[in-house]
Structure 1
Amino acid sequence: MKLSSALLAVGGLIILGPVAAAEDFAAAVQKIASARVSNAAIPGLVVVTVNGQEQKIQGFGLVTKSTDGKNQPQSLPHLPDANTVFEIGSVSKTFTALLLADMQVRGQLKLDDAVAALLPSYTIPQYQGRAITLLDLATQTSALPRLPANLMPKQADNPYADYAENNLRDFLRSYQLTRAPGAKYEYSNLGFGLLGQALSARAGKSYAELVQERITRPLGMADTGIALTATMQKNLATGHDAQGKIVANWDMPTLAGAGALRSSAQDMLRYLQAHMHGANVKVPAGLQLVQQPQRATGMPGLQIALAWHVQSARGQTVVWHNGMTGGYASFIGFTADGQRGVVVLANASVNVDDIGMAALLPAAPAAPAAEASNSASTPTTEKLSATQLAEYSGRYQLAPGAILNISAGPDGLLAQMTGQPQAPVFPRKKDEFFYRVVEASLQFERDATGKIQSLTLHQNGHASPAPRIGDAAPEAAKRTEIQIPAEQLKQYTGSYTLAHGFKLVISEQAGQLYAQATGQGSNAIFAETKDKFFLKVVDAQLSFQRQADGKISGLVLHQNGRNMPGPRDAD
């Protein structure tokens, strides 16, 4: 449950996982993928790797992990393969961007055209006379929010299904921009959904028809689209949430350009190769244009092209995008020189960026000899007291919504990025700690009085400063879970409005409570005391509130130092 920020939807600042040299990256990817399946984090994966002329498609795990009668999948479990179909989520945005580039090259529009010119039936907001352009939408700089505030799904497990075009018109008519378009990068599903609508209007065809005509048919991608063909339905992997529960497929009729497509590894290989060798591909047009950096993101080493993110790290430039729906995750990327590429498709809403990046980034340089005894591969002998460790505890803000929580563990410090697993860090020398799970280190800085005031994350050749913004958040791992009978859990179920258009739906299944935020996947919540629950996948807690008669009247979401109250909606 990424309640705090859309930033994490496009890659956090720490990649938790090893990286590989070019000659052995396929083996490294296989090792990571196998581990993710074997530890039950993801039921099934298909990984595509391209290394020069060598291509490989590998399946791991099963198309579903459920075999009980209450949550029975339509097909029998088997190994996913090149033809297995997955929802690709926000990777669909790269298709939308390619349609835009194709129409630009054909002379059917220009990147700096105002969106309002393509959608005369809409009222598109402006900021002090500055109109939103197609380029603004394609580079996530439109100043539109991540989601429209009037997205209020009737089906919590299919949040976009009943969002109609008239809802989109209504929202845009009333929305006021808070800054000029083009001024700041802010990831927006709404923006790309609007871009899909604009391109469809200019072409006089539906988004699905446009994708088929301009991309999938020319590239021979028969198993890619929005509507499932009989073959796609037969090969569809079962989607699972982060806890392994089977979930519904998503439908996005109005915001299709943001994430509605499904595809297979075989088709995505064709799509990947077209981008890697775009200069030699005649159709679709615009393959080179989509890869050209257009604007900065405000994050070190990261620019945005048309939908694609262009990241420079360790002397390598990679072009990538990721995606996630309620039951699936995806990643596609390639090196800017066209030598290596990767696609990862998973049937669970669990981030797979680390698997993809392992195929694209070169190995970290060896530690200098002088530091060999304290390198990440050699245990440090330095021990710090509990009092010394407590000095470093706190929350450090690396970017909007990306907070690094540092706390004292039994053997040293524990570091946890928003939405990522906790990892230990070890002292190398005073105020400097290193990770063993990834090539990264933390350098703490002190003020004139000697108090820790900030840290700097060193990773992939970049230094990312982070001021200390408060005390360390309580660790979910240290919370004590208690059992509450299923019949008592039902009193908490219902919908709670945290903000206009943003709800938290609490449901109960088989004696377990789940929380699902608008437009996000479902996550289990665990009782710590009566009326107080916590999540394990992210550092967040829920406190339920009662009326005088004892009936639940609302809740408060505690996350990233904020307390967000949400009254319970009327039944």
Structure 2
Amino acid sequence: MKISSALLAVCGLLILGPVAAAEDFAAAAQKVANARVSGAAIPGLVVVTVNGQEQKIQGFGLVTNGSDGKNQSQSHPPDANTVFEIGSVSKTFTALLLADMQMRGQLKLDDAVAALLPAYTIPQYQGRAITLLDLATQTSALPRLPANLMPKLADNPYADYSENNLRDFLRSYQLTRAPGAKYEYSNLGFGLLGQALSARAGKSYAELVQERIAKPLGMADTGIALTATMQKNLATGHDAQGKIVANWDMPTLAGAGALRSSAQDMLRYLQAHMHGANVKVPAGLQLVQQPQRTTGMPGLQIALAWHVQSARGQTVVWHNGMTGGYASFIGFTTDGQRGVVVLANASVNVDDIGMAALLPAPAADVGNAATEKLSAKQLAEYSGRYQLAPGAILNISAGPDGLLAQLSGQPQAPVFPRKKDEFFYKVVEASLQFERDANGKIQSVTLHQNGHASPAPRIGEAAPEAALNATKRTEINLPAEQLKQYTGSYTLAPGFKLIISEQAGQLYAQATGQGSNAIFAEAKDKFFLKVVDAQLSFQRQADGKISGLVLHQNGRNMPGPRDAD
């Protein structure tokens, strides 16, 4: 259900090739999908592509990996009718309900949430009330999750969170800033939006989705409760390690991520948004796509739920989603020519499959791209520190033969000019696109890799090499038998686990929805990552058995108890 996880790996270890041309993007998506399935990262997935008038629905892998006791040979590939949890893509449905009700004159975007939920005590900041628009644009100033979300079942974290729990949290919560002032992704905010819309309509969120969206668009296999047909076609959910996991239930925060759907239904939903001007119902299909507020990241705006991203001359509208056993992505170009939906039966990020098609990397052979000669003075213009994310700084400095790029916690790597303001790596398939302000001064850079475009504003002068290496850590060797003590699953947050595994004397850490990264010992019970600036401290009971760990990253200490075996 999240845009990004706590364990940040901006330059990920999964390196995928760039898309050569827009017209080949369906084939490119197929290539990437095949790689994800054949590499056992995801048991099965379905990719929907729309390219002009051409539509394709392609299934890959299997609906289950067989670890639930079913004979894998009797399993079958997912298809157009296979049902998946779509996680936070549900937020786009919630936003469409909001836009539909606005267009019908049933409410206004700037209505105060408190006016729709009189039974709730909605926090304010110095008299500034939270509006429906604040919730729909992730600028409500509410936290990502309510602090009193304490699930009885770790594998179904929202199931027992009640409306009374939500009221209690909001009654006691104090906003730390004015609503509308800052973008901050909040599942709580969209869950509250679903409650508000339901209250105004006098119907449940599930009923609203059926009445205003699913039935008008002919989406028979979309909803919260599983029909007999949906149950029959439901893909089995898996965590990032391939373990069968429970389905999620979200009775109170349904507007944040409770929906299930199929590829065939999501194709209808995608096409409705791509051709909103020609679709009579539901109302508001064009309104949801209109940028409403900035996110603080260059090239990225927020509409009603949807993210609107501009890079390399293209504008893409997109959203992603993830639950404990599934992942999803939906996006389309604003010219209405290309669209994609990806549905997977594992809690593994699939943005690269969708975004690589819609926002392709530079169409050049990275290893043999022609370089442009730039003077030392020209190269010096790019020198500086650029913030990709909290705690993730890309340091660009001038080296003897060109530019050197170094991400927090990683070694330096040379980048080479393809043309003015555009550089590429040779060690990985990635590139840097620098942006200038009206005066021609470099103000930001966008890292293109794995189909992602990660913008980073310039925050200062380049750091000297000594400062970059000030926190260099010394690796020590521990016996394999000792390393095996640390293996297991650790829950850092509801729906977010860190899996520690051992292979051939090397420990690996894999966060929910992310790839596996090696971790290295610097002392007994203390490990660090090399790909990002993060450390792990393991905790022991009195009998010496590992009971939990703490993830240290971005100035935060995130404890995670060890799950029962």
Given that 2:372 and 2:418 are in contact with CA atoms closer than 8 Å, whether structure 1 keeps it comes out as: yes
Given that 2:103 and 2:283 are in contact with CA atoms closer than 8 Å, whether structure 1 keeps it comes out as: yes
Given that 1:276 and 1:338 are in contact with CA atoms closer than 8 Å, whether structure 2 keeps it comes out as: yes
Task: Give 1:4 shift.
Answer: 7.9
Task: Tell me how far apart the structure 2 counterparts of residues 360 and 201 of structure 1 sit (CA, whole Å).
Answer: 37
- Cα distance change of structure 1 residues 368 and 399 upon mapping to structure 2, 3 Å threshold: closer
Given that 2:48 and 2:340 are in contact with CA atoms closer than 8 Å, whether structure 1 keeps it comes out as: yes
Given that 2:15 and 2:450 are in contact with CA atoms closer than 8 Å, whether structure 1 keeps it comes out as: no
Given that 1:544 and 1:556 are in contact with CA atoms closer than 8 Å, whether structure 2 keeps it comes out as: yes
TM-score (normalizing by structure 2)? 0.77
What secondary structure does 1:369 align onto?
coil
Can you list the C-alpha shifts for 1:277-320, whole angstroms capped at 9, x where unaligned? 11111111111111111111111111111111111122222111
Task: Tell me how far apart the structure 1 counterparts of residues 464 and 551 of structure 2 sit (CA, whole Å).
Answer: 14
* Matched pairs, number: 559
2:251 paired residue number: 253
- Cα distance change of structure 1 residues 28 and 501 upon mapping to structure 2, 3 Å threshold: closer
What secondary structure does 1:8 align onto?
coil
TM-score (normalizing by structure 1)? 0.76
Larger mean CA deviation between 48-57 and 514-523 belongs to 514-523
What secondary structure does 1:403 align onto?
strand
1:128 equivalent among 126, 129, 143: 126
What secondary structure does 2:364 align onto?
helix
Can you list the C-alpha shifts for 1:418-457, whole angstroms capped at 9, x where unaligned? 9999999679899996235987545999999999999875
Given that 2:491 and 2:561 are in contact with CA atoms closer than 8 Å, whether structure 1 keeps it comes out as: yes
Task: Give 1:11 shift.
Answer: 13
Given that 1:151 and 1:163 are in contact with CA atoms closer than 8 Å, whether structure 2 keeps it comes out as: yes
Given that 2:366 and 2:426 are in contact with CA atoms closer than 8 Å, whether structure 1 keeps it comes out as: no
Given that 1:101 and 1:285 are in contact with CA atoms closer than 8 Å, whether structure 2 keeps it comes out as: yes
- Cα distance change of structure 1 residues 480 and 393 upon mapping to structure 2, 3 Å threshold: farther
- Cα distance change of structure 1 residues 341 and 67 upon mapping to structure 2, 3 Å threshold: same
Given that 1:194 and 1:257 are in contact with CA atoms closer than 8 Å, whether structure 2 keeps it comes out as: yes
Larger mean CA deviation between 265-274 and 517-526 belongs to 517-526
Can you list the C-alpha shifts for 1:118-146, whole angstroms capped at 9, x where unaligned? 11111101000000000000011111111
Task: Give 1:416 shift.
Answer: 9.0
2:193 equivalent among 192, 195, 199: 195
Given that 1:138 and 1:192 are in contact with CA atoms closer than 8 Å, whether structure 2 keeps it comes out as: yes
Given that 1:218 and 1:284 are in contact with CA atoms closer than 8 Å, whether structure 2 keeps it comes out as: yes
Can you list the C-alpha shifts for 1:68-105, whole angstroms capped at 9, x where unaligned? 74999996xx1111011111111000000000011111
Given that 2:330 and 2:342 are in contact with CA atoms closer than 8 Å, whether structure 1 keeps it comes out as: yes
Larger mean CA deviation between 446-455 and 55-64 belongs to 446-455
What secondary structure does 1:209 align onto?
helix
Task: Give 1:463 shift.
Answer: 11
Larger mean CA deviation between 24-33 and 211-220 belongs to 24-33
- Cα distance change of structure 1 residues 543 and 121 upon mapping to structure 2, 3 Å threshold: same
Task: Tell me whether 1:549 sits opposite 2:543 in the alignment.
Answer: yes
- Cα distance change of structure 1 residues 19 and 4 upon mapping to structure 2, 3 Å threshold: closer
What secondary structure does 1:425 align onto?
strand
- Cα distance change of structure 1 residues 171 and 343 upon mapping to structure 2, 3 Å threshold: same
Larger mean CA deviation between 146-155 and 506-515 belongs to 506-515
- Cα distance change of structure 1 residues 71 and 421 upon mapping to structure 2, 3 Å threshold: farther
Given that 2:147 and 2:169 are in contact with CA atoms closer than 8 Å, whether structure 1 keeps it comes out as: yes
Task: Give 1:467 shift.
Answer: 8.6
Larger mean CA deviation between 36-45 and 15-24 belongs to 15-24
Task: Tell me how far apart the structure 2 counterparts of residues 372 and 490 of structure 1 sit (CA, whole Å).
Answer: 39
Given that 2:352 and 2:450 are in contact with CA atoms closer than 8 Å, whether structure 1 keeps it comes out as: no
Given that 2:190 and 2:253 are in contact with CA atoms closer than 8 Å, whether structure 1 keeps it comes out as: yes
Given that 2:357 and 2:451 are in contact with CA atoms closer than 8 Å, whether structure 1 keeps it comes out as: no
What secondary structure does 1:445 align onto?
strand
Given that 1:17 and 1:438 are in contact with CA atoms closer than 8 Å, whether structure 2 keeps it comes out as: no
Larger mean CA deviation between 550-559 and 458-467 belongs to 458-467
Unaligned runs of 5+ in 2: none
Given that 2:297 and 2:457 are in contact with CA atoms closer than 8 Å, whether structure 1 keeps it comes out as: no
Can you list the C-alpha shifts for 1:470-494, whole angstroms capped at 9, x where unaligned? 9999999999999999999998799
Can you list the C-alpha shifts for 1:524-564, whole angstroms capped at 9, x where unaligned? 98988753456799764421244777566764322246555
Larger mean CA deviation between 558-567 and 322-331 belongs to 558-567
Task: Give 1:243 shift.
Answer: 2.2
Task: Tell me how far apart the structure 2 counterparts of residues 236 and 370 of structure 1 sit (CA, whole Å).
Answer: 40
Given that 1:432 and 1:444 are in contact with CA atoms closer than 8 Å, whether structure 2 keeps it comes out as: yes
Given that 1:301 and 1:462 are in contact with CA atoms closer than 8 Å, whether structure 2 keeps it comes out as: no
What secondary structure does 2:8 align onto?
helix
1:377 paired residue number: none
Task: Give 1:328 shift.
Answer: 1.2
Given that 2:510 and 2:517 are in contact with CA atoms closer than 8 Å, whether structure 1 keeps it comes out as: yes
Can you list the C-alpha shifts for 1:343-391, whole angstroms capped at 9, x where unaligned? 1111112221121123323xxxxx99999996xxxxx999999999999
1:384 paired residue number: 374
Given that 1:43 and 1:64 are in contact with CA atoms closer than 8 Å, whether structure 2 keeps it comes out as: yes
1:97 equivalent among 71, 95, 98: 95
Given that 1:413 and 1:425 are in contact with CA atoms closer than 8 Å, whether structure 2 keeps it comes out as: yes
- Cα distance change of structure 1 residues 510 and 216 upon mapping to structure 2, 3 Å threshold: farther
Larger mean CA deviation between 54-63 and 110-119 belongs to 54-63
Larger mean CA deviation between 444-453 and 540-549 belongs to 444-453
Larger mean CA deviation between 35-44 and 449-458 belongs to 449-458
Task: Tell me how far apart the structure 2 counterparts of residues 518 and 40 of structure 1 sit (CA, whole Å).
Answer: 15
Task: Tell me how far apart the structure 1 counterparts of residues 441 and 52 of structure 2 sit (CA, whole Å).
Answer: 52
Task: Tell me how far apart the structure 2 counterparts of residues 281 and 407 of structure 1 sit (CA, whole Å).
Answer: 51
- Cα distance change of structure 1 residues 166 and 527 upon mapping to structure 2, 3 Å threshold: farther
- Cα distance change of structure 1 residues 173 and 512 upon mapping to structure 2, 3 Å threshold: farther
- Cα distance change of structure 1 residues 554 and 439 upon mapping to structure 2, 3 Å threshold: closer
- Cα distance change of structure 1 residues 526 and 260 upon mapping to structure 2, 3 Å threshold: farther
Task: Give 1:245 shift.
Answer: 2.1
Given that 1:394 and 1:470 are in contact with CA atoms closer than 8 Å, whether structure 2 keeps it comes out as: yes
- Cα distance change of structure 1 residues 494 and 6 upon mapping to structure 2, 3 Å threshold: closer
Larger mean CA deviation between 411-420 and 555-564 belongs to 411-420
- Cα distance change of structure 1 residues 11 and 263 upon mapping to structure 2, 3 Å threshold: farther
Task: Give 1:270 shift.
Answer: 0.6
Larger mean CA deviation between 124-133 and 446-455 belongs to 446-455
Task: Give 1:406 shift.
Answer: 9.8
Task: Give 1:253 shift.
Answer: 1.1
Larger mean CA deviation between 57-66 and 520-529 belongs to 520-529
Unaligned runs of 5+ in 1: 362-366, 375-379
Task: Give 1:569 shift.
Answer: 12
- Cα distance change of structure 1 residues 469 and 292 upon mapping to structure 2, 3 Å threshold: closer
User: After the TM superposition, which residues 344-423 of structure 1 pair with which residues of structure 2 at under 5 Å, given as runs?
Assistant: 344-361=342-359, 397-400=387-390, 402-404=392-394
- Cα distance change of structure 1 residues 10 and 441 upon mapping to structure 2, 3 Å threshold: closer
Can you list the C-alpha shifts for 1:308-338, whole angstroms capped at 9, x where unaligned? 1111122222111111111111111111121
Task: Give 1:251 shift.
Answer: 1.2
Larger mean CA deviation between 452-461 and 333-342 belongs to 452-461
- Cα distance change of structure 1 residues 420 and 45 upon mapping to structure 2, 3 Å threshold: farther
Task: Give 1:108 shift.
Answer: 0.8
What secondary structure does 1:130 align onto?
coil
